[in-house]
Structure 1
């Protein structure tokens, strides 16, 4: 895209850019949703997926095509044509772009390690090679220079996350939003950050907003139908007795300590909400955040099922080596080998907790198989070809 075209579109996006710049710091006051998504791919349902906000007067009166979406903490963005080049930080928003058929317009990835693409191998025609895209992060830093180099029309990143994680200032956010492209995102993976004082959204809500901004809401509607059917099918077949499950994040190879993961309402736990397991950690007295536990502590609560998840796409929890480096070690450990889950071969790799709309389908299916193998076994619970057509053809 040439700079003149970008400038024209940034004028229309000024409200979002200004809101992002002014509210991204630790002491911001949330704007709230000021409107909803509209696009031209589906004109019969211009409202957002679940929001109750009233569209702005501009949305109701204009006769020209526009692409608008609103989200806390960034406010509203409006484009006269869909953004083209985009970037995202991790597997939540990157996966949204792929689900919308926008992989060829991806300009860069903030943290490639937090984006697992292996599930795409099961979707005919859907591919993404992360090595083809520049990483915006530099270890534990997120400098501004890569943002200029990528030169994206829009950044699907929560600017408040940048200021509170990487030390960006409001001036830094305003600089990139003005000179490169606006920010549009809400950090929805977990719900424990003290700085996240504004609204959290569900995965479906955010995906609907992103889809509207890119003029591809019909793909979102198709995904929502698939996701709803998968959820309804699983929940209609759940046994009366729910399994007790312990969710852990292992530390080290082989793991000798673990971060316990309470199952909550966040996007990272979406699959466990669907399968309605009993969280062994509830009532255990183990702190929810900032603590590690060892095998002795796990033995005290002795869950039926143990699942180990990860933040990183190259982690052994997502590889075949899981059985060697985790199960093999546990079966030889003097305490771990006596755990009920180990004795019954019910220790599992659980996937990555940065999950967007496509990844969540696979991990919800996997969760059902893990929790209730007698009911679901290795059954495929959603149609891969149907999902692939949604991505590649919009149908």
Structure 2
């Protein structure tokens, strides 16, 4: 694979994405790496795991949902991790030697202390960067365009010349969204989104719901944010049991950004968390606790496949009396798309 900034030839592909600009490729990348669940999941959706050379942070890539897709699985332990604790050393990029890095280089500079020279070194000596940090909005350093999940996915699909799979999956996403929204009741419950600290949790990071990728599912189901209008800061604070009681939400959802650190299964979650809140003198009278509407959330690093499962789960959590069926989208259909089956 080669890259250039010249005018594309008829057989070349040019793909543009802030903040990296435009890449002109004379053939799709043969090997690639990504950091976490958003872009790794895109590669999974496009059937590109046979070209995956490494994962930046495997802890932030939850693969459990794939078990629900017939014939589809991924063992992320089979791929080298580029991160070393809290470090992302350049040596890892040289060792993996991928054709392209589906990562936001500005994010790398601001998160891991790289310089622009470090980015240029890896881009020139190993392979270019292509990505935009779209998980959450609010970082001061992110002063360029954000993309929606499906806008970013379309660009990655174009990069790898797999737009047909993108279009088919996008149709599944649209159908799921339209199905859910056509059945939403008039009354919208208030939901409190939290990131728990400890199991059982002793404190919580409150999470305002916005239009970022990490909150995609809650916007689809048009839930009301229990934090809206409160005096709780949006960033950098923890709240305790008293704050939860004061907010008194209809529904509590606890999510994680570290998929391997927190129980995602509902049964185990209820045993360790809902039971604890019911026994606590401060939290037991919260509406969500009294009514048993405290749920395990998903992983907020979600790509196109993971988001399908989490949109479905969000609908059931928010409106359990309306969405009672076992599934809201066809797993077999999605599995066929991922595998490249056009039937």
State the TM-score, normalizing by the size of structure 1: 0.85
Query: Matches of 1:138 and 1:364 in 2, distance apart?
Result: 32
> Given that residues 218 and 394 in structure 1 are in contact (C-alpha distance below 8 angstroms), is that contact kept between their aligned partners in structure 2?
no
Query: Matches of 1:345 and 1:218 in 2, distance apart?
Result: 42
Query: Matches of 1:321 and 1:182 in 2, distance apart?
Result: 43
Residue in structure 1 matched with residue 41 of structure 2 by the alignment = 95
Q: For 1:212, which of 150, 153, 158 is the aligned residue?
A: 158
Q: For 1:161, which of 84, 107, 119 is the aligned residue?
A: 107
Query: Post-superposition shift, 1:252?
Result: 1.1
Query: Matches of 1:315 and 1:341 in 2, distance apart?
Result: 24
Q: For 2:218, which of 246, 268, 272 is the aligned residue?
A: 272
SS of 1:309's partner is strand
> Given that residues 317 and 351 in structure 1 are in contact (C-alpha distance below 8 angstroms), is that contact kept between their aligned partners in structure 2?
no
Aligned pairs for 1:69-88 (under 5 A) are: 69-88=15-34
Residue in structure 2 matched with residue 286 of structure 1 by the alignment = 232
> Given that residues 351 and 363 in structure 1 are in contact (C-alpha distance below 8 angstroms), is that contact kept between their aligned partners in structure 2?
yes
Query: Post-superposition shift, 1:135?
Result: 0.5
**Deviation digits for residues 79-129 of structure 1 (CA, Å, limit 9, x no counterpart):** 111101100000000000000000111010000000000000011121110
Query: Matches of 1:317 and 1:185 in 2, distance apart?
Result: 29
> Given that residues 308 and 317 in structure 1 are in contact (C-alpha distance below 8 angstroms), is that contact kept between their aligned partners in structure 2?
no
Residue in structure 2 matched with residue 113 of structure 1 by the alignment = 59
SS of 2:193's partner is strand
Residue in structure 2 matched with residue 327 of structure 1 by the alignment = 274
Query: Post-superposition shift, 1:379?
Result: 3.0
> Given that residues 36 and 58 in structure 2 are in contact (C-alpha distance below 8 angstroms), is that contact kept between their aligned partners in structure 1?
yes
Query: Matches of 1:361 and 1:380 in 2, distance apart?
Result: 11
**Deviation digits for residues 340-382 of structure 1 (CA, Å, limit 9, x no counterpart):** 1111000001100000000000000000000000000243110
Greater shift, 316-325 or 301-310, is seen at 316-325
Change (3 A) 1:176 1:394: farther
**Deviation digits for residues 29-56 of structure 1 (CA, Å, limit 9, x no counterpart):** xxxxxxxxxxxxxxxxxxxxxxxxxxxx
Residue in structure 2 matched with residue 377 of structure 1 by the alignment = 324
Query: Matches of 1:269 and 1:253 in 2, distance apart?
Result: 23
**Deviation digits for residues 109-160 of structure 1 (CA, Å, limit 9, x no counterpart):** 0000000000000111211101100100001100011111111000000000
SS of 2:133's partner is coil
Moved >2 Å (runs of 4+): none
State the TM-score, normalizing by the size of structure 2: 0.97
SS of 1:248's partner is strand
Residue in structure 2 matched with residue 232 of structure 1 by the alignment = 178
Query: Matches of 1:79 and 1:106 in 2, distance apart?
Result: 18
SS of 2:194's partner is strand
> Given that residues 191 and 266 in structure 1 are in contact (C-alpha distance below 8 angstroms), is that contact kept between their aligned partners in structure 2?
yes
Is 1:297–2:287 an aligned residue pair? no
Residue in structure 2 matched with residue 29 of structure 1 by the alignment = none
> Given that residues 4 and 25 in structure 2 are in contact (C-alpha distance below 8 angstroms), is that contact kept between their aligned partners in structure 1?
no
Q: For 1:132, which of 73, 78, 100 is the aligned residue?
A: 78
Which runs of no fewer than 5 residues in structure 1 stay unpaired?
1-8, 16-56
Change (3 A) 1:394 1:205: farther
Residue in structure 2 matched with residue 46 of structure 1 by the alignment = none
Aligned pairs for 1:1-395 (under 5 A) are: 9-10=1-2, 13-15=3-5, 58-59=7-8, 62-63=9-10, 65-319=11-265, 320-395=267-342
